[in-house]
Chain A
Amino acid sequence: MFRKRRRLNKRNSKPTIIASQSVSRKSGKRGAMVRGSRVVEIISKTLSEMLVCPLSEQPLRVCEKSNSLISHAIGVSFPIVDGIPCLVPRDGEIVETDSDRTAADAKTDHKTAQE
Chain B
Amino acid sequence: MYRPNGNFLRRFLKRSFCSAENIDSKVQIFDRHLKRKQRDRAAWLLNRKDSLVNTVADNLVDRLEDVKKTFPSALCLGGSMEAIRRSIRGRGGIEKLIMMDSSYDMVKLCKDAEKDLSSDNIETSFMVADEEYLPIKESSVDLVISCLGLHWTNDLPGAMIQSRLALKPDGLFLAAIFGGETLKLLRIACTIAHMEREGGVSPRVSPLAQVRDAGNLLTRAGFTLPGVDVDEYQVRYNSALELIEHLRAMGESNALVNRIKFLKRDTALATAAVYESMFAAEDGSIPATFQVIYMTGWREHESQQKAKRRGSATVSFKDIQKEFGGQTT
Contact = CB atoms under 8 A, between A and B. Distances in A.
A74 B10 CA distance: 10
Nearest to A44: B125
A39 interface: no
Interface in B56-106: 73, 96, 98, 102, 104
Given A50-B136, A52-B136, A89-B17, A84 B111 contact: yes
B137 interface: yes
A100 B129 contact: no
A94 B135 contact: no
Nearest to A55: B133
Contacts of A53: 135
The winner among A50, A54, A55, A75 for most chain B CB atoms within 10 A is A50
B137 A50 contact: yes
Q: Interface range on chain B: under 10, 10 to 19, 20 to 34, or 35 or more? A: 35 or more
Interface string A76-103: 1000011111111111101011011001
B7 A46 contact: no
Contact of A84 (B128, B133, B136, B138): B128
A44 B135 contact: no
Given A43-B125, A51-B127, A89-B17, A84 B107 contact: yes
B187 to A, nearest CB: 30
Contacts of A60: 135
A19 interface: no
Nearest to A80: B127
Contacts of A75: 6, 9
Nearest to B133: A54
A104 B6 contact: yes
Contacts of A99: 4
Interface residues of A, number: 38
A94 B6 contact: yes
Contacts of A88: 36, 102, 128-130, 133
B9 A46 contact: no
B137 A52 contact: yes
Interface string B119-149: 0000101111110011111101100000000
The winner among B6, B9, B13, B73 for most chain A CB atoms within 10 A is B6
Contacts of A100: 4-7
Given A54-B135, A86-B128, A87-B135, A74 B9 contact: yes
B112 to A, nearest CB: 10
A46 B125 contact: yes
Interface in B14-45: 16-17, 33, 36
Given A46-B125, A60-B135, 8 more contacts: A4-B11, A54-B130, A86-B129, A87-B127, A87-B133, A90-B17, A91-B128, A100-B5
Q: Which 7 A-B pairs have the closest CB atoms?
A: A54-B133, A100-B6, A54-B135, A103-B4, A87-B129, A86-B128, A87-B135
17 contacts: A46-B73, A46-B98, A51-B136, A53-B135, A81-B104, A84-B111, A84-B128, A85-B127, A85-B128, A87-B130, A88-B133, A89-B13, A89-B16, A94-B6, A94-B9, A100-B6, A104-B4
